[in-house]
Amino acid sequence: MRLPRPRQQSLERALALSRSKPLRIALTACVSLGGLAAAALSVRHFVSGGWPLGHADPYLVAAAAVLFLAAYASKAFGWKRLFARDVRPSAPALAAATGAATVTGVALPGRFDDIVRITVVRRFRTSKAGFPAICLSIVLVGFLDSAALTPLASVAAGLTDMSAWPRAGIAVVAAAGIGSAAIVIAMPRLERSRRLARFRIVRWLASHSAGTREAAKAWLFIAGSWSLRAAALYVLFLALGLEASFVLALLFLCASAASAALPVAPAGQATQAGAGAAILVVAGVGAPSAVAFAVAAQGLIVLTGAVVVLLASAWEARGRLIAVAR
């Protein structure tokens, strides 16, 4: 089914605009300014309120940071599986995109992180995927994120002794993951339906979606990423000297991840920290300790994200220099 001529022309103009050099320069400038603003806000906060990790065990903090770095890498390998083999960006490019979105999320409103991801991926020389393919992969990663949280949320809901309402909220996170997994599995099969196959968008989604096997591999990597984050949060609890269990780490992880799905939020990282602190308070952790832990956790996630961006940028610069030398 072909789109009406006016609508097709509008789509072509939008795609041409997305490929234009001025727009890419403008987006790069916005990402850079967002990163600077995030750094300025972080410095201002810690100067006025103090650094929550100041009295923490440095070895355990370092261990948590290593786990967060491993989580970024695992997420990148999972995201990579959602592209066609001949256009897959490199894992460093995808890790840099995730790290940059995390850093700029300190200052930028929620959902702007997707623009940051697209911009960073397209800036790497190994990225051959087009704009629509990158957008679709981000949507699929979001679905698989939700699906990967299902077992963790189920364990948290089953083992916590909180009241019914917080447990129901965690159960909703688990149920959303089941629905997300069903969507990812069904998407490649859309064109088998004669009614749906008439639509061009349905055929495009079916042909560009990851197959069931690749989606399963992507889910394993992404689930591993969330498990590593949960382990890092538990280690961070120990580093701060807080009495905590792995269930509390799972509750914090699920609450912050659920808040990230909001369509609009004042600032991505601030919203996640607030949601995580709130669930800790409901679970019985003192408010000052809960806030300190939430700020420390999000701060460490942002710092490790910045390290990932620097490492990936160095890898990209090395590759460009080798290509020029040849």
Structure-block tokens of residue 226 = 């969330």
Predicted confidence band at 236 (pLDDT cuts at 50, 70, 90)?
Answer: very high
Work out the angle between the directed axes of helices 246-260 and 287-325 (0-180°, nearest 10).
70
- pLDDT score at 203: 64
d(CA 304, CA 103): 9
For residue 36, what pLDDT is reported?
47
Give the per-residue pLDDT at 62.
93
pLDDT top residue among 221 and 206: 221
pLDDT at res. 71: 96
**Residue 97, pLDDT score:** 92
Mean pLDDT comparison of 148-162, 187-201, 220-234, 259-273, highest-scoring range? 220-234
- Residue 232 confidence (pLDDT): 95
pLDDT band at residue 235 under the 50/70/90 scheme: very high
286 phi/psi in degrees, rounded to 5: -60, 145
**What's the pLDDT score for residue 182?**
81
One-letter amino acid at 311 equals: L
Farthest CA pair distance, the chain: 64
What is the arithmetic mean of pLDDT over 150-174?
78
Which is nearest to 147 in space by CA: 182, 171, 101, 190? 182
Q: For residue range 238-286, list pLDDT tens digits in order.
A: 998 887 778 888 888 888 887 665 444 444 566 777 778 888 888 888 8
Average pLDDT over the chain, rounded to whole? 77
Report whether pLDDT(27) > 60: no
Sign of CA dihedral 61, 63, 65, 67: negative
Give CA–CA dist 250/269, Å, rounded: 18
Question: pLDDT tier at 308 (50, 70, 90 boundaries)?
Answer: very high
Q: What is the pLDDT of residue 269?
A: 65
28-60 tens-digit pLDDT: 555 445 444 444 444 454 545 555 666 778 899
- Looking at residues 223-248, what average pLDDT do you find? 89
Ordered DSSP codes for 226-293: HHHHHHHHHHHHHHTT----HHHHHHHHHHHHHHHT-SS-S-HHHHHHHHHHHHHHHTT--HHHHHHH
Assigned token pair, 315: 């890898």
pLDDT of residue 283: 80
Tell me the CA end-to-end span of the chain in Å, nearest whole number. Answer: 47
Entry pTM: 0.79
Per the CB < 8 A criterion, the answer to whether 256 and 272 are in contact is yes
Residue 303 has pLDDT above 70, yes or no: yes
Using 50, 70 and 90 to split pLDDT, how confident is the model at 10? low
| Opening angle at CA 172, ends 170 and 177, nearest 5 | 100
**Where residue 64 falls among pLDDT bands split at 50, 70, 90?**
very high
